[in-house]
Amino acid sequence: MMLADFGADVIKIESPVGDETREWAPPLAPDGQSAYFGSVNRNKRSVVCDFATPSGLATARELARSADVVIENFRPGVMQKFGLDYETVRAHNPGVVYCSITGFGSSPAGAELAGYDLLVQAMSGLMSITGSPDGEPTKVGVALVDVLCGQNAVAGILLALRARDAHAHGHGQLVEVDLMSTALAALVNQAGNALATGHAPSRLGNAHPSISPYELYATADRPIIIAVGSDRAFRSLCDALGVPALADDERFVTNPQRVAHREQLTKTMETVLASAGADHWVTTLRTAGIPVGPVNSVTDALAFAEHIDLAPLVTIASDGRTATSVRSPIRLSESKARYELVPPLLGEHSGSGWFDDERSRVE
């Protein structure tokens, strides 16, 4: 979808039963399709190819041989069985950039494992550092590893296209990304902490392992987030809270000391914050230049983004249907994102002549 937003002609090849996320409901979008499916399938064309039939397989092979980019996320070995693996495709299409997305890589041991976001959140350690310290391991509230892996795939594809364009031979290459490696790389500082100490990080709820104050704090009515990243900012926070002496308390003078005495600092701050509600403190602290904000619902967040002129939503109209979705987060000054096709019905673009366009891409 990210590639399609910026002009790629993306042909989504589906089996006769369709992408399984078409059935991931409720809720349903106004056009009756799964809202989940709709959230990641705008600007694509849907074509049904039954790999169990000679005609379906021939169509898929013809597309792969003419495409700039092929993306597949079958288990390792499946595409080879159909003659659609990288080596076979590039023999007929040397310039192809072929992106293979797996759950746990292509080694025999990794290939045996099913790649679902929830499993990877658990097995990568992400769930072990998410949630309350005295609660159970908790997944992130969205399929974050799936999303990050898709973004890594886009980055890999663009890097490979740039390399192809930079060399006279014009050869493509294989791009491999997997959910497990994506999740491990996304652990960033937490993985770094484990490597530095030899100890696995633990769950801290909304607290940060290396910064304080940097978490959720209770006020008189509802919690707010305060994120202070320097000693100078902490002093400004103490002034804004009306307790300037707190910045000189030997327990809190430096960030390492504040982290070491996080519990005492949180209690002291929440005693002050209890004197007024969230709206008061957000206004007061924001005026003082302190990073602060409420905990928005998703609908509140969309409204806030609209309020600060981020224009978060786009409405697409095509083939007599309309769809609203969150716009691409990328803005280019010259190459504008396009929003032309609503999420496709299953096989909506199947039929003669649908892949004649020389710009066609294959997903």
Contact in structure between 81 and 105 (CB atoms under 8 Å): no
SS3 239: helix
Quick check: is 85 catalytic? no
How many other CB atoms sit within 10 Å of the CB of residue 245?
7
Contact in structure between 312 and 326 (CB atoms under 8 Å): yes
Contact in structure between 312 and 328 (CB atoms under 8 Å): no
Q: Which helix (H) or strand (E) holds 241?
A: helix 231-241
Phi and psi torsions of 51, nearest 5°: -65, -10
Give residue for tokens 């066609």: 360
Amino acid letter, residue 127? M
Of the residues 146, 221, 231, 249, only one is catalytic, namely: 146
Contact in structure between 45 and 81 (CB atoms under 8 Å): no
Q: Would you name the residues annotated as active-site residues?
A: 146
